Structure 1
Amino acid sequence: MKRVTGIGGLFFKTTDPKATKDWYKKHLGFDTDDWGCTFWWKDENGNKCSTQWSPMPRETDYYKPSDKPFMFNYRVENLVGLLKLLKEEGVTIIGEIQEFEYGKFGYIMDNDGNKIELWEPIDKVFEKNN
């Protein structure tokens, strides 16, 4: 089974998410929206895939139990199977799988205490003009 297939998102804390999004839009050309910026790319099979870049408020507790100011999101093909395998390998699983129209999410902790978000995506939900 494939484990991680790509980077699904980069999430980080900032004192002013709007100012950060505006700065990246002005200076680096990011096409920002309320959530940040979605980057589109194709996988080795030619499927359209997305990666999310999101500055978040410094007060967010979304990364808990990690105390780090960032969280990585990795794309996976089979979240249920991967979480089962990781649990068998002794990896700490956080909470239950969450399902949304844009995919399934599961959470683990790495060996440095970083919360990792695993995402089995449904990319087509994000498509607008891409």
Structure 2
Amino acid sequence: MLRRQHFGLKTNSYRFTFWWKDKMGKDRFIQWKPFMDDTNDFEPNEKRFVQNFIVDDLERLL
């Protein structure tokens, strides 16, 4: 796999997981997965990326 060969990332079925602990010591993670240029995973949307955020107060954010 390109990610393993060039970036040295140990991947799993979700590609790569970045782990950390939050202020309260709780385990947190982010999944990183690149997509091929010709992917149709996001259709019908024309954007080719997804971002997810962790927020403390979702109601206030919205």
TM-score by length of 2: 0.69
**Given residue 72 of structure 1, which amino acid in structure 2 is its aligned partner?**
Q
The aligned residue for residue 17 of structure 2 is: 38
Match of 1:59 among 10, 33, 40: 40
| Contact persistence 2:19–2:28 (CA under 8 A) | yes
2:47 is matched with 68
SS in 1 for 2:47: coil
* Distance (Å, rounded) in 2 between the aligned partners of 1:71 and 1:52: 11
Q: Whose relative contact order is higher, 1 or 2, with alpha carbons under 8 Å and at least 6 apart?
A: 1
Alpha-carbon RMSD: 2.4
Alpha carbons of structure 1 residues 33 and 85: separation in structure 2 relative to 1, 3 Å: closer
Q: How does the TM-score come out when normalised to structure 1?
A: 0.38
Kindly indicate whether the alpha-carbon contact (under 8 Å) linking 2:3 and 2:9 is maintained by their aligned counterparts in 1. Answer: yes
Q: Residue type matched to 2:50 in 1?
A: M
Query: Unaligned regions of 5+ residues in structure 2, if any?
Result: none
TM superposition outliers: structure 1 runs of 4+ over 3 Å = none
- Cα distance, 1:41 vs structure 2: 0.7
Query: Structure 1: 5+ residue runs without aligned partners?
Result: 1-21, 87-130
Greater share of strand? 1
